[in-house]
Homo-oligomer: A and B are copies of this chain.
């Protein structure tokens, strides 16, 4: 089967979810997002691992992206095996069994869904 554009491993070195209470929910929440594109004709089994400055990594968080679909995963919503702590620096590694494309975006919904920052994640070799 032809594989589509992307890589099987990606890293995002920056991550930060503000603590609750800095504004009205949900309008003032800052959404940390990993936008995943699976252009393949088969489903992607994706695993996300979260790295911290002062404790062992947690994960995998398991995410499925259907064939020829995109899924914009909000780190705020991840809760299995556990919720990502607020007010804490983190980084993430994202692995998939088929090539995907991963883009890191932080959305600030306070002003009509404006996005404030984005970058392609860093791709691994495969």
On A, residues with C-beta under 8 Å from B are 5-6, 9-16, 18, 22-23, 28, 30, 33, 35-37, 39, 51-54, 56-57, 68-72, 89-91, 93, 101-106, 108, 112-124
Contacts and interface: CB of A to CB of B under 8 A. Distances in A.
A89 B65 CA distance: 14
A52 B70 contact: yes
A118 B54 CA distance: 23
A112 B18 contact: yes
Contacts of A35: 13-14, 89, 91
SS class of chain A's interface: helix, strand, loop or mixed? Answer: strand
Contacts of A105: 14, 117
Contacts of A115: 14, 16, 106, 116-117
Copies per complex of this chain: 4
A91 to B, nearest CB: 4
A91 B93 CA distance: 20
Contacts of A118: 14, 104, 106, 117-119
B117 A108 contact: no
A64 to B, nearest CB: 12
A28 B68 contact: no
Contacts of A12: 103
